[in-house]
């Protein structure tokens, strides 16, 4: 099978996988909604919702960041078609995480929320992560990609790594005793960031070598 046919096959596979993945991405919210309906969110429902939406924000964000390495390692370039949807689900869950805090934890007490942000460092870094995801969600459309241009758009969307860093630090500073789960997220993020740095360095060197050889 030649490269063109292989790419077409991959594209077909990704298009068929997209609706299935969309349904799977809705399962965490559906599970939480069902648990809330049954009244089985535990002794502290707000804490359960806060942790669950926060966990899924980080998971979706890391899965989104893993798409590019997987794309290069597997040779399935059309995987990039799934990245936008996964990224938007990360943003969707961080919005839920924020709303749970504002509505059920602070009851729209904006002054208390501001004081909380200024006094608690884990909330401050969490807010930084949330704010850094906003421009990524706003510019996720094809129209915005064309308006910004590919180079500027890609540069802006590197904020996803910053958001991931804020997210794992937010989680690490939040927990009081068991650090295992946030440390797992930190290791995964470090591996993904390391892969990107190594690949970018190799590509830069390759371009420099090519330009020297053409002189």
| Domain map (residue ranges) of the chain | 3-208
pLDDT of residue 11: 74
Cα-based torsion angle of the residue sequence 89, 91, 94, 95 in order, rounded to the nearest 10 degrees: -100
Dihedral sign from CA coordinates of 78, 81, 86, 87: positive
Determine the 3-state secondary structure of 140 from DSSP. coil
pLDDT of residue 38: 94
| Cα–Cα distance for residue pair 18/110, rounded to 1 Å | 39
pLDDT of residue 15: 83
Per-residue pLDDT of the chain (215 residues; tens, 9 = 90+): 566 666 676 677 888 889 999 999 999 999 999 999 999 999 999 999 999 999 999 999 999 999 989 988 888 888 888 999 999 999 999 999 999 999 999 999 999 999 999 999 999 999 999 999 999 999 998 899 899 998 899 899 999 999 999 999 999 999 888 889 999 999 999 999 999 988 888 877 877 766 555 55
Q: Check: CB of residue 95 under 8 Å from CB of residue 148.
A: no
Q: How many helices (H) and strands (E) does the chain have?
A: 9, 0
Helix (H) or strand (E) holding 102: none
pTM exceeding the 0.85 threshold for the entire prediction: yes
Dihedral sign from CA coordinates of 16, 19, 22, 28: negative
pLDDT of residue 80: 85
């Amino acid at each position: 099978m030649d490269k063109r046919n292989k790419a077409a096959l991959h594209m077909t596979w990704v298009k068929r996988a997209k609706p299935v993945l969309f349904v799977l991405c809705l399962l965490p919210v559906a599970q939480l909604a069902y648990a809330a309906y049954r009244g089985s969110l535990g002794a502290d429902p707000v804490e359960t919702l806060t942790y669950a939406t926060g966990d899924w924000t980080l998971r979706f964000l890391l899965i989104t960041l893993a798409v590019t390495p997987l794309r290069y390692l597997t040779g399935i370039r059309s995987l990039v078609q799934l990245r936008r949807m996964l990224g938007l689900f990360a943003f969707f869950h961080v919005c839920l995480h924020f709303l749970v805090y504002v509505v059920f934890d602070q009851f729209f007490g904006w002054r208390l929320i501001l004081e909380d942000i200024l006094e608690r460092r884990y909330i401050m870094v969490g807010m930084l992560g949330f704010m850094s995801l906003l421009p990524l969600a706003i510019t996720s459309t094809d129209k915005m990609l064309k308006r910004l241009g590919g180079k500027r758009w890609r540069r802006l969307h590197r904020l996803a790594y910053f958001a991931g860093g804020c997210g794992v630090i937010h989680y690490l500073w939040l927990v009081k005793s068991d650090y295992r789960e946030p440390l797992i997220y930190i290791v995964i993020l470090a591996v993904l960031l390391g892969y990107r740095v190594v690949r970018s360095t190799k590509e830069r060197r390759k371009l420099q070598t090519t330009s020297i050889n053409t002189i």
